Amino acid sequence: MFKKALAIAALALPLAAAAQDAWPSKPITFVVPYPPGGPTDLMARLIATPLSKRLNVPVVVENKAGASGNIGTVQVVRAKADGHTILLAASGNLAVNQYLYKKLGFDPVKDLAPVMQISRFPLVLEVSEKSPIKNFKDYVNHARKADNRVTFGSAGNGTPQHLGGELFKATAKVDISHVPYKGAGPAIVDLMGGQITSMFDILGSSMQHIQSGKFRPLAVTTKARSAMLPQVPTISELGYPDFDYYAWHGISTTAGTPQPVIARLNAELRGIFSDEAFKAKWLEIGSEVVAGTPEQFDAVIKTEARKMDGLIRTLNIQLD
């Protein structure tokens, strides 16, 4: 029996090496399950060019938007498990949507193989420059006054902006009302115009408005301060030590893809993220530079899914 196991293992080694050596044998389809022009699309296009050079095959970005990222994700789930179709995954389609949709169409753990986490985006609690709220303490006090109606806008139900705001509402025990929009853009416009009180927005999305002075940042949602706004304190510093919330992205592929292929893809991506010029571009879009192993990304997905499950159950949020 032992000799038979050794023989099987000996056969597996050259097969695994052959799978890695033969990959890629054709262009890579890089599925972005969101519309073109947004931050997720930008991330994919920043990665696609150097990845194509390293692999010596075209890496084609394909936008397949719809159902909060579910439609594009299903395309990758159904692809051949050979590593030639990869997904720009986000916290939504990997850790949130399974608790929001009655019919998801895939299991993010069983049907996808994690390759590498690529981003951590802090959210920033912000108000308009015209707001009477001058700092975080003002915001909390304002929200606790019975005669005030404090609102926060988001890019829609179930988005990081929505869930970040709800998590703060539950943590700080403040009365703030969610106002969902169809995308972050309209919410930003209404924040400028004073139609809503605040936003918990992804930092990269609002940075230009903070720099121009149109928005006043009150706090960031990650435990550590952001390198882009080092002068702005964290919610954790300001009286809620366990508060830590961020949006994140990663690259996944179809479950069943040979491990040597996943290891090669991970190695090439880590090579890209170690380049200083690339890291500078990545920081410009508002994200921390994150480049770990498939196992580390798998742990992030599972940890974040448990956190979101508890939050969404508490809020009783559900989408059709």
Q: Give tens-digit pLDDT for 47-61.
A: 999 999 999 999 999
> Is it the case that residue 311 has pLDDT exceeding 50?
yes
> Is it the case that residue 128 has pLDDT exceeding 80?
yes
The answer to whether 181 and 165 have CB atoms below 8 angstroms apart is no
Q: 182-212: per-residue pLDDT in tens?
A: 888 899 999 999 999 999 999 888 888 999 9
Residues 200 and 280 both lie in one domain: no
> Is it the case that residue 21 has pLDDT exceeding 80?
no
Residues whose CB is less than 8 angstroms from the CB of residue 298 and which lie 6 or more positions away in sequence, other chains included: 114
Residues 135 and 203 both lie in one domain: yes
Position of tokens 């230009």?
A: 208
Predicted confidence at residue 245, as pLDDT, reads: 92
The answer to whether residue 231 is domain-embedded is no
Burial of 299 (0-12, 13-18, 19+ CB in 10 A): middle
Residues 261 and 301 both lie in one domain: yes
- CATH number of the domain that residue 105 is part of: 3.40.190.150
Residues 106 and 147 both lie in one domain: no
Residues 110 and 257 both lie in one domain: yes
pTM of the predicted model, to two decimals? Answer: 0.83
> Is it the case that residue 242 has pLDDT exceeding 60?
yes
> Is it the case that residue 11 has pLDDT exceeding 70?
no
Which residue intervals of the chain are DSSP H helices? 2-22, 39-55, 70-77, 91, 136-144, 160-172, 184-193, 203-211, 259-273, 276-284, 294-315
Q: What are phi and psi of 188, to 5 degrees?
A: -65, -40
Residues 308 and 251 both lie in one domain: yes
Predicted confidence at residue 2, as pLDDT, reads: 47
Domain span at 83? 22-121+246-315
SS3 174: coil
Identity at 318, one-letter amino acid code: Q
Q: 255-282: per-residue pLDDT in tens?
A: 999 999 999 999 999 999 999 999 999 9
Is omega for the bond preceding 24 within 30 degrees of 0, making it cis? yes
Residues whose CB is less than 8 angstroms from the CB of residue 110 and which lie 6 or more positions away in sequence, other chains included: 255
- C-alpha span between 119 and 125 (Å, rounded): 19
Predicted confidence at residue 285, as pLDDT, reads: 84
Predicted confidence at residue 227, as pLDDT, reads: 86
Per the structure, the count of domains in the chain is 2
